[in-house]
Amino acid sequence: MTTLERSVGADVTRIEGRDKVTGAALYAYEYPVRDALYAWAVQSTVARGRVRGVDGGGALALPGVVAVLDSGNVQRLHPTEDPELSVLQSTDIAYRGQIVAAVVADTYETACQAAAAVRVEYEENGHDVELRDDDPNAFVPDTVNAGYPGLRESGDVDTAFATAPVTVDATYTTPPEHAAPMEPHATIAVWDGDALTLYNGDQGPWMTAEALAELFGLPRGSVRIVADHVGGGFGSKAVPRPPTVLAALAARAVGRPVKLAVTRQQMFSMVSYRTPTVQRVRLAAERDGRLTAISHNALQQSSRLTEYCEQTVAATRIMYAAPHRRTIHRLAQLDVPTPSWVRAPGEAPGMFALESAMDELADALGMDPVRLRVVNEPAVDPESGRPFSSRNLVACLREGAARFGWEGRDPVPGRRRDGRWLLGSGVAAGNYPVYTMPATATARAEPDGSFVVRIAAADIGTGARTMLTQVAADELGVALDRVTLDIGRSVYGNAPMAGGSMGTSSWGWAVSKVCRALAERLDETSGAVPPEGLELSADTTEDVQAQKKLARCSFGAQFAAVRVDAVTGQVRVDRLLGVFTAGRIINPRTARSQLRGGMCMGLSMALHEMLDVDPHYGDFANHDFATYHVAANADVRDVEAYCLEEEDGELNPLGTKGVGELGIVGTAAAVANAVHHATGVRVRDLPITLERVR
């Protein structure tokens, strides 16, 4: 017998990689479902008002059209926490692009044509879609997304600012951004009596099943989600969206399976976006760089339907020590679609502002920006006073500085040239919280020596399936090829979504627990498996609840080198280098890939991404990838990510923190700080377009 290599910690390639690149992997829209019809949404062309009437006559006259649906003829739904899901339940219109009717036809093309033939008569009321810093209706919510308080205040901030020798007071803005996954949202809805199966592009099969059962007034378990493969989500598939509900309503109405594919154009108004922000950051410091006061005030928007307030200043509460502190979220409700989670919601825009302000403070102090961050390192969580389970930001900064070649950097802006290019470098830091949620996993030993492990996880391109297979194989003490990980289905039990960077910790905990129990059981029988197999389940609810109350965060330091065309203002990012601590890394290859992907998204956020609000029509003007720019291959040059070893015994038994979102946090600030270093121009508004640099 050869010694079995441990799978955890190995650079295992993606288990489903071949299936994906050969087209064998099925995505939501591709499941072979017999006798299906096709649904197409009709979207409101007004931003605020009411539907007076829907005339489906022209649509129904087309051959192949089976039904025209509107709020008068679809099933009544039960109200849930998310009013966005009350599709066709009212004639009220809260935003342009809201679903006001739908058609069902025998082909995709006919459905598209028929939707255009539906006549909707509107009562139009004036709308307001512009986020303004002086909006008199803006308010401070008690709690914001993920349960953070809307306002935190301690010490005497005003006196601290009045008496500090050095202060910074600057306002930063970030635009609305779109999640823009490669696979647009798609659903196939199949009813069998009162049981509903949804093949759905989905980050959270179990949570979606629960939400849809509640919405349709069905017992728990009657809705089943299938999401074996998901072509990216970036937050937009973390909770169910209106098109999924529409597919289920349509299938119910026509008594046949219904397929619904959201077009790329429709994506921009139907599946949420990141809120724009207006953020005022004030920092006060002693001459030695020690912060005496931090104030961060973030204005954001939500729809009139629901109060979604992103936790934009939450990351600021963790970052630096300072005796006087005030962090506030403000929210304005406008006639816009409801924003939601997009790629490190809160942390990504929040750390752009704070980490830009830290750079401005370093400038004002004449102090190295790496050193400024090191001297403000807190011993405990500055807000709660709780110890960190582990915190290695300083190690990230030092390692990053060494690898990047930071030492000896001339801090004076605008002094380095390469022909027409101005050269600069910048640094920023960031953190992302460690979320862990309970999950259930099942492990089954077969008489032939193979194992099947089931959990309602989702692999949205992260490598989750591969990582969980590694965890299971190690606990079972077998080679990877003996273990099959079945994921992506709600029937496998409760599990959180692939979001909040919590998959590895939450699903991994349940998989390791059940596999360890199965291995122990097999030890008792010397490995003998009964002919019918041996199956165990485990749930981590009690384990998760028993965790000590500590501050748990991953940290990162980001370094950027840019060149800026002195004539045109064009910015190129020559190099990004990030050093991170995220506990134990299960699979260095996929973890690196996650972190580098996040850094590319940060680059994209810094230079390109912006939904353009059209005040006249009340919608976003960009509805495709020609006008909504994301970083392309040609934008991305040298991107390096390193994880420092971090032992943390106060996490889950695997010792993991999660790497899904950490890579994007701070990247945009590092780029903006480098642009300042190159040019002397401080760009406080994202994205950093040509006209903002010149």
Concatenate the DSSP letters of all residues of 62-77 into one string: STTEEEEE-TTTSPP-
Tokens 């937009």 sit on residue: 236
Q: How many other CB atoms sit within 10 Å of the CB of residue 526?
A: 6
In angstroms, give the least distance from the CB of 95 to ligand MOS.
21
Concatenate the DSSP letters of all residues of 199-252 into one string: EE--S-HHHHHHHHHHHTT--TTSEEEE-S--S--TTTTSS--HHHHHHHHHHH
Pick the closer one to ligand MOS by CB: 233 or 655.
233
The single-letter code of the amino acid at 583 is G
Pick the closer one to ligand MOS by CB: 210 or 475.
210
Residues at the site binding ligand MOS, with contacts judged by CB under 6 A:
203, 233-235, 238, 341-343, 345, 499-500
In angstroms, give the least distance from the CB of 235 to ligand MOS.
3
CA torsion 41→42→46→52, rounded to 10°? -120
Tokens 């490190």 sit on residue: 344
Told to judge if 661 belongs to the known catalytic residues of this protein, a careful annotator would answer yes
In angstroms, give the least distance from the CB of 203 to ligand MOS.
6
8 Å CB contact between 494 and 206: yes
Pick the closer one to ligand MOS by CB: 85 or 179.
179
Task: Retrieve residue 60's tokens.
Answer: 């129904």
In angstroms, give the least distance from the CB of 275 to ligand MOS.
12
Alpha-carbon radius of gyration of the chain: 26
In angstroms, give the least distance from the CB of 360 to ligand MOS.
28
The 3-state secondary structure of 107-133, one letter per residue? CHHHHHHHHHHCEEEEEECCCCCCCCC
Pick the closer one to ligand MOS by CB: 234 or 388.
234
Pick the closer one to ligand MOS by CB: 404 or 580.
580
Question: How far out from the chain centre does Cα 493 lie?
Answer: 23
CA distance 482 to 26: 23
In angstroms, give the least distance from the CB of 263 to ligand MOS.
22
**Active-site position among 210, 355, 609, 661:** 661
CA distance 298 to 678: 28
CA-closest candidate to residue 614, choices 623, 625, 605, 603? 623
8 Å CB contact between 84 and 21: no
N- to C-terminal Cα separation, the chain: 68
Residues forming beta bridges with residue 279, ordered by sequence position: 172, 298
In angstroms, give the least distance from the CB of 81 to ligand MOS.
17
Pick the closer one to ligand MOS by CB: 202 or 363.
202
Task: Retrieve residue 264's tokens.
Answer: 């790329």
In angstroms, give the least distance from the CB of 233 to ligand MOS.
6
Q: Rounded to whole angstroms, what are the CA distances from 327 to 188, 294, 347, 477, 482?
A: 44, 8, 14, 49, 51
CA distance 637 to 607: 14
8 Å CB contact between 685 and 173: yes
Pick the closer one to ligand MOS by CB: 251 or 487.
487
Pick the closer one to ligand MOS by CB: 425 or 494.
494
Which positions are annotated as active-site residues? 661
